[in-house]
Structure 1
Amino acid sequence: MHDNDALFDALRRSADAGVVDAIEDLVRNGRDEELARLNALGLATARGLDEEKVIAALLHASRLGLFEMSWNILCPSCGGVLGANATLKSVRQQDYHCAFCALDSEPTLDDTVEVSFTVSPRIRSIGAHDPDSLGFWDYHRQVFYGSGLAFPEPGMFDALSRKALLEAVELKAGERMILALQLPAETVIIFDPVTHTAHLVESAGEPTADRREITMIFTSARAEVGRTTLAPGPLRLLLDNRTERRALVGVYVAGPEMCSLIGGRRPFLTAKRLLTNQTFRDLYRTETLDVEQRLKIMSLTFLFTDLKGSTDLYERVGDLVAYDLVRSHFQVLHEIVASEAGAVVKTIGDAVMATFPEPRRAVSAALRMRDSMRQLNARRGAEELILKIGIHEGPCLAVNLNDRQDYFGQTVNIASRVQALATEDSIFATQAIVRDADSARLLSARGVDATLQALTLRGVGDRVPVFAMT
């Protein structure tokens, strides 16, 4: 425990003290399931903490070895974990298969790749560190489902699970078993969350007294979902576990009770949000994507800035003064971007490229940037730092360029072109930005008008409406 105290003391030197206190309390007193796949946003909500500070603290905690970070591929339907990866580099680009839902899906960083945190076994031992020791539902809570699933409260959970689950059996490695049950007049799913093996039994016809048989073989290889149509009545399941691990076979009734049991959702930390987090970029830098990796993001907001007349500035005030001014401008922009849940992707000369998880954050950052530059100029009594800003939102690819995580696609090109159109001390944005409901409310609250400009973007085939925020 003394070593743990030293690690938490080290964490307090790099993260918010109040957040660290909450994390330490959770590690010492929290339930195992809370520490198996810790939901950063859930922790912030439960403890009344700032989300960005919680994310930053957990990233620093992972660097110190208090937690292990996992990039989990989720089924977009049931929220089950289809693949857990220690780094984003391990995420495959091809489809992932959910046997429980009989669904193939391609991972997108927006909503089907979550980032969760598991307490390190050298800090505290929990059931998830030894999955074969977990009971049926504990395995589902701590291992199979992602951190975005919100199970009902215990009393309601027990009532629903009794109706949704016909049978649950543990099948040891190499064990065979015969399970007799009565099929209802509803669809039944037979599923093992360990091997991800499933069989779907659809109901059709009048009830029968004839006994039928279905054989399920559990192996380490991916199996296609079996499908059978049977009338309600007796069924004998022949179960054969040919793996070196146990299987946890559940027979579920695919009805409203099951939907209520596993249908609850809560916000979770997505890969997209983490990639646009400044602390993550600072701590992990080139450790995110492989050189050949191309991962889709369906919606990301890009903000480009540039200083007008920076060459003239160097000639007018001299290299040393100009350098200090430009450096101060970069520091202000970095701080604003980070405070708006964004991240600076790179700087090019006097220009900045930044990303944000949503348009409103980028608009807020842009307005604050413009105000900050005006305040800097007012203190110096001269218009020396004139910032031109462009914003656009859309799909893109997360890639590795020049040994760092970057973005590629037409959305990036358009955002850069919009910035190039911006005139003195102006913020230009596309329709996707100004028509976003949260952005529109922010502009209205700030008394900022978005005026349509009769402009054409260089290198973009279709005409893209551009608005000036004044």
Structure 2
Amino acid sequence: MSEVDVLFATLRQAADPQTVECIESVVMRGSDRDLNRINALAFADKHHLDQEKTIAALLHAARIGLFEMTWNVLCPGCGGVLDSGTTLKGVDQESYHCALCAAGYEPTLDEMVEVTFTVSPRVRRIAAHEPDLLPPMEYYRQIFFSSGVDLPEDFESRFGSSVLEMIELDPGERAFVSLQLPAQFVIIFDAVTHSAQFIDVTGEPTAERQNLSMVISPGHASNETLTLRPGPLRLTLENHTDRRVVPNVCVAGDELHDILGRRRAFLTAKRLLTNQSFRDIYRTDTLDVDQRLKITSLTFLFTDLRGSTALYERVGDLAAFDLVRAHFRVLHEIVAAEAGAVVKTIGDAVMATFPSPDRAVAAALRMREAMLRLNAERGSEDLLLKIGIHEGPCLAVSLNDRQDYFGQTVNIASRVQGLADPNVILTTEAIVADSHVSAILHDRSINSVSRMEELHGIAREVKIFALS
């Protein structure tokens, strides 16, 4: 067997066989584009695979060396990749600036950091492994734009219709470009260094040649918008970097905006951090101790067993331990099945995260049903589960050598669980207000009864909903 055969045999033991078979087929017979910066969600949809199984398979594939996983910081405006690294630890700037959009952004893990997978060169070499050798249009397609931009198949011709000029410049090279400026807003932009120059072409047309020079350097910042007249321009471009650059002169019109506006779902850092397979594989290598990364919306679910101390007294340590362990196993399975992840267990309590409120509510309902079944099988009421759910902003942090979360949202979720009666799911208004949650409650004929509660450490009263 070849090394690649051995790697895929290993992957089949760790991940869903159907998904692995599809990944292997693409590795063997897919195009180079298909294997660069794979969008896990788009890949699953294209091949009619389960998204969670696809994410898990790609994570295991990255672990054994079939693929390389990258974390890309994105511009929410144009969808360009502002920075890229092999771990989340590389997202270490307080803000990121996009020269093309002339805007700065504080990074959040919800929509500004994507996770993609590229085939390892030891498995198959593709053109994107040497990005500086890619044709300019392919560089924009495969390297500059994120996997969340749904580029059309005819990207080259559509983007090309907006481009007045595109050239390649080797390190230290200078080029002179002559072109006709239309009476529109024009941008000179290099996708390698993210250098940009805006030109507002307005006024009376001129037959007199205008001159403009632009130096492309690693630290190039956006210049003030220049005003030129429609007519001939002699543009001088100089590459002061140690890499090839690919500047273009384009019209910022409807065609360009349409291309940039085409978006699709992608694997966000938030979703990956709430994935059980990811937490199992990358336990201690996610965040640096000093990192504090914002998540604008994450759903927390807390559970606890009521009367677990009395349970140990009533049935004995060994029987109680086995029962509690069985309860943990069931909860872990349910959390993973609903695209969530167990962050930690504290005594007999569980703290889990989910990418959306509906997933957490679906998990909570399944947990309640599972505990009722376990109790029925034993002919007892030993497993009395208390559940609380809340959603909101938080910080992703590293605590006690594990990836954890911090903030008022976490505190409220924990306090809500503390108020719950056995087999009653308590949520906040943020949860039941979610349209997908409303649909779940309606479909299952579940009633929600609200009340106001004071939570320890929370200044205001909080509206609590009991789902029964």
TM-score by length of 1: 0.98
SS in 1 for 2:14: coil
Counterpart residue number, 1:325: 323
DSSP-derived class of the 2:179 partner: strand
Counterpart position of 1:76:
76
Cα-Cα RMSD: 1.0
State whether residues 275 and 339 of structure 2, in contact with CA within 8 Å, keep that contact through their aligned partners in structure 1.
Answer: yes
Match of 1:30? Answer: 30
C-alpha distance in 1 between matches for 2:126 and 2:224: 34
Aligned to 1:150: 150
Aligned with 1:416: secondary structure? helix
Which SS does the other structure have where 1:18 is aligned?
A: helix
For residue 430 of structure 1, what is the aligned residue in structure 2? 428
406, 409, 428: which one pairs with 2:407?
A: 409
Q: CA deviation at 1:158?
A: 4.4
Partner of 2:45: 45
State the alpha-carbon separation in 1 of the partners of residues 29 and 301 from structure 2.
42
Question: Given residue 288 of structure 1, which amino acid in structure 2 is its aligned partner?
Answer: T
| TM-score normalised by L of structure 2 | 0.98
| Counterpart in the other structure of 1:67 | 67
Mapped to 2, the partners of 1:337 and 1:109 lie a distance apart of 21
Shift of 1:292: 0.3
Provide the residue aligned with 1:211 in structure 2.
Answer: 209
CA deviations 1:351-403 (Å, max 9, x no partner) are 00000000000000000000000000001111110000000000000000111
Residue identity matched to 1:278: Q
Residue from 364, 371, 374 that aligns with 2:372: 374
**Which stretch shows the higher mean deviation, 209-218 or 47-56?**
209-218
Structure 1 match to 2:341:
343
Which has the higher mean CA deviation after the structures are superposed, 229-238 or 431-440? Answer: 229-238
Partner of 2:195: 197
Spell out, residue by residue over 1:162-194, the C-alpha distance to the aligned partner (whole angstroms, 9 max, x if none): 321111111111111111111111100101111
**Cα distance between partner residues in 2 of 1:161 and 1:271:** 29
Could you tell me whether the CA contact under 8 Å between 2:137 and 2:156 is conserved in 1? no
Rounded to whole Å, the distance in 2 between the matches of 1:198 and 1:158 is 21
Deviation at 1:226, TM superposition (A): 4.5
Inter-partner Cα distance in structure 2 for 1:425 and 1:132: 59
Structure 2 counterpart of 1:180, which letter?
A: S
Out of 231, 234, 241, the position equivalent to 1:233 is 231
Secondary structure of 1:160's match?
helix
Task: Tell whether the 8 Å contact from 2:99 to 2:195 is kept in structure 1 after alignment.
Answer: yes
Partner Cα distance (2:165, 2:202) in 1: 21
CA displacement, residues 247-289 of structure 1 (integer Å, 9 cap, x when unaligned): 1011110001112233211110000000000000000001000
User: What is the aligned partner in structure 2 of residue 354 from structure 1?
Assistant: 352
Look up the match of 1:109: 109
Q: Distance in 2 between matches of 1:72 and 1:454?
A: 42
Q: Runs in 1 of length 4+ with deviation above 4 angstroms?
A: none
Match in the other structure for 1:308? 306
Distance 2:121 2:51 in 1: 25
Q: Residues 130 and 226 of structure 1: is their aligned pair in 2 closer, same or farther, counting only changes over 3 Å?
A: farther
User: CA-to-partner distance for each residue in 1:390-431, whole Å, 9 max, x for gaps?
Assistant: 000000000001111000000000000000010121100000
Match of 1:395 in 2: 393
Give yes or no for contact 1:93–1:293 (8 Å, CA) kept in 2: no
Unaligned ranges ≥5, structure 1: none
**Aligned equivalents of 2:252, 2:221: Cα separation in 1:** 21
User: 1:111 is aligned with what amino acid?
Assistant: E
In structure 1, give the amino acid aligned to 2:293: L
* Aligned-partner Cα distance in 2 for 1:224–1:151: 26
Deviation at 1:203, TM superposition (A): 2.2
Q: SS of the counterpart of 2:453?
A: coil
Deviation at 1:39, TM superposition (A): 0.5
Asked if 2 retains the 8 angstrom alpha-carbon contact of 1:417 and 1:457, the reply is yes
The residue aligned with 1:453 is 451
Task: Report Cα offsets for 1:72-106 as digits up to 9, x if no partner.
Answer: 00001111110001100111241111111111111
Alpha-carbon distance, 1:455 to partner: 2.3
Amino acid at match of 2:64: L
Q: Which amino acid aligns with 1:268?
A: F
**The residue matched to 2:283 in structure 1 has which SS?**
helix
2:417 corresponds in structure 1 to 419
Deviations 1:265-321 (Å, cap 9, x if unpaired)?
Answer: 111000000000000000000100000000000000000000000011011111111
In 2: Cα distance, 1:37 partner to 1:107 partner:
20
Residue 140 of structure 1 corresponds to 140
